[in-house]
Amino acid sequence: MVNLFKTIHKKINGVIWSLLSTGIILLMLSVLIVWTDFMLRLIIGLFILIIAYIFLYGGYKLWALRKDIEDHFKF
């Protein structure tokens, strides 16, 4: 049971660090915004790509956590 909690703790820490690093990247991008049409479109496109990455990474982490729980309890 302790091994399960260590695994869950490691997975949650991975998600937290991923979200923090993505937040820092978004903050840097928001500071670097230039008010031209091309740069604004580029920044919006990058923002959408980052959001898509967050959803894909979050889904993968939840799938991996579910798999670890199933392996631990042998469902």
Sorted by where each begins, the domain ranges of the chain are 2-70
The answer to whether 28 and 46 have CB atoms below 8 angstroms apart is no
Tell me how far the alpha carbon of residue 10 is from its chain's centroid: 14
DSSP three-state, residue 32: coil
Structure confidence by residue, pLDDT tens digits, 22-34: 777 777 777 666 5
- Band of the pLDDT at 50, cuts 50, 70, 90? confident
Q: What is the pTM of this model?
A: 0.51
